Structure 1
Amino acid sequence: MIDRSKPILVFLAAGVQGSAVMHAALGRGLKVRALVRDSNRATALAAPGVELAEGDLGAAASLTAASTGIDHAVLQVPIGPAETMAMQAGNALAAFKAAGIKSFVLKLASASRPAPCEEPSFIANHRIEEAARACGIDFAIVRPTMYLDNLLKPSALAEIINDGVFAPPIPASQRIAWTSADDCAEAALTLLERGAMGGDHRIAGPESLAGDELAERVSASLGRAIRYRGQPLDEFERDVDVAMGPGVGRRVASKFRYFATYPEEADAILARPFAPQSGLENFRPKSVERWVREHRLCFTIPST
């Protein structure tokens, strides 16, 4: 059982995934130590039950200080080159051991595949998992299918509002059991509260939907027509390069190219709806319709 007098350490607290964990913890009456790089730029996180702690995933000493006095944590590292992700996770795990953390949930961005596998994000995930298993601390893994929160990225949201189109780099024929950052956060906190460590939990939505079916559900929830368009990967890479710099598009698109090359793997990772699992027997993922209704204001067309 969790000692509720102590906070839970939440990594990447200022980001979409970390803030979802923070709010899920507060909703359960738990305290949070929110790890941020600069507390002066994270004042929006200030709330009853939240303690800000400065730390840099590239600096192990800062993570040890942030982990001191903590029993449990939810660990996530930002997406980047495999070497960087593995180093950052290693620093966090070393800090956990030094501080005496009892258990943690490792939130990964997607499935991983053991070598040989050429996809960089899967390689990074595999290396992080191996390091977690070698550290000697009880832990569980939570991994999503595909996040509905992708609809809320500024570029995607603008296209939905202005053009009525959602255009991820995935063909409409690919079935996906869409999940959300909120559901993954709830799953992570459920496992921590129950002490259900040792599992590898794939968090998915309750339905497997093709692109047009997703668009139908979003349209019904918003009360206006939204179309799904699978963006060609070359076009997606160019757009990412323009937004984030040359070469970034290729790295970001690599997972989607993997899915296109290995459709059976894509189905195994993305398509199956959530099924009850040990530690998450009573977990009920949100439907697309419910998630869209909860975020309806984000999709509001600005008045002119």
Structure 2
Amino acid sequence: MTYVIHGATGAQGAPVVSALAASGRPVVPLARRAGAAAQGPATVAAEYSSAQQLTDLYRGAAGVFVHLPLGAEADRVRYAHNIVAAIREASPARVVFSTSGSGGGGLPEPADSAVSTVTGGLEAGDISYAVVRPRLFLENLLLPQVVGAAREEGALRYPLRADFPVSWASHLDIADVVADLFDRPDVTGIIDVGQLPAITGPELAGAFGAHLGREVSYEAITPAAFGTSIAPLLGEGPAAGVAGLYRALGELTDHAIAPERSAQKLLGRDPRSTGRWLADLGL
């Protein structure tokens, strides 16, 4: 029996493929385009727009890892319905879904959103499942204007208040948790992934400074300024969505995970510290 991994060439899926392959488990990596891989199995082309294709890929699988692609929410909702339909028809042994940072921490997810559609579909079915719910990804800090300024100017600029604690997590942490969850069918429902205790901007900057060997200070910038800076990379629409997220976070007191539903408590899995994450990446 194989493990079917969505987005196998992307930021979340690729580390999951690596984690499973390293433990000797057979993996079917899905991507938008089929192709050979430098290491591991070749990717299989899969379209979220075809429920039948997803059903064929999920059937007989020991596990399926799902996360939704970026894009227009109307498309994502359509994809979510196809994923749920395929899961119900194919009945894989286990499904792990990552919310990719949506919802949680005081940001309610609309009931008709793509993330809620997948989560609700899993809750309503009879398939063994778990929902991985991170807050913010450390990889967001690898944007050139963020890590570049930290390295060259000694300033970590980000659109969060200096006193705003966040339970950061890396894509590597998500991969570790997903691999654990495929081995732990007894753990179901929401699993929050992130650092405990949550850390503030100055603490984040301190970790960068320790790793880079220079003083790095934290500078809070506005969500609008951040959105403008990333628009050339992401496009105007996605950048506006990111800016909207940080405006919403600005209305909260923190963006921390709940200890009772944490990977630390449910799986005994501690996420990487910021310093270890930086070292693991070799930055």
Letter in 2 for 1:217: A
The 3 A distance-change label for structure 1 pair 132 and 58 is same
Letter in 1 for 2:128: D
Aligned equivalent of 1:3: none
Aligned equivalent of 1:175: 165
Distance of 1:202 and 1:111 partners within structure 2: 12
The 3 A distance-change label for structure 1 pair 176 and 122 is farther
8 Å contact from structure 2 (residues 151, 212) kept in 1: no
Q: Which residue of 17, 20, 25 maps to 1:25? A: 20
The Cα shift of 1:289 comes to 1.4
Q: Secondary structure at the match of 2:210?
A: helix
The Cα shift of 1:193 comes to 0.8
Q: TM-score, normalised by structure 1?
A: 0.82
**1:1-304 map, 5 Å:** 6-40=1-35, 43=36, 45-48=37-40, 50-112=41-103, 123-261=113-251, 263-264=252-253, 267=254, 269-270=255-256, 276-278=264-266, 280=267, 282-296=268-282, 299=283
Q: Percent identity?
A: 25
Unaligned runs of 5+ in 1: 1-5, 300-304
Letter in 2 for 1:57: Y
CA distances 1:51-106 after superposition (whole Å, capped 9, x unpaired):
52210112223322322332211111113333322221221222223333121111
Distance of 2:152 and 2:258 partners within structure 1: 32
Distance of 1:26 and 1:121 partners within structure 2: 35
8 Å contact from structure 1 (residues 112, 123) kept in 2: no
8 Å contact from structure 1 (residues 105, 140) kept in 2: yes
Distance of 1:295 and 1:240 partners within structure 2: 22
Distance of 1:272 and 1:201 partners within structure 2: 9
Q: Secondary structure at the match of 1:258?
A: helix
8 Å contact from structure 1 (residues 111, 122) kept in 2: no
8 Å contact from structure 2 (residues 2, 25) kept in 1: yes
Distance of 2:177 and 2:196 partners within structure 1: 14
8 Å contact from structure 1 (residues 108, 125) kept in 2: yes
Letter in 2 for 1:277: K
Distance of 2:151 and 2:112 partners within structure 1: 33
The Cα shift of 1:178 comes to 1.7
Q: Secondary structure at the match of 2:70?
A: coil
CA RMSD of aligned residues (A): 2.6
The 3 A distance-change label for structure 1 pair 206 and 270 is closer
Distance of 1:131 and 1:154 partners within structure 2: 37
Distance of 2:225 and 2:174 partners within structure 1: 30
Q: TM-score, normalised by structure 2?
A: 0.87
The Cα shift of 1:271 comes to 6.1
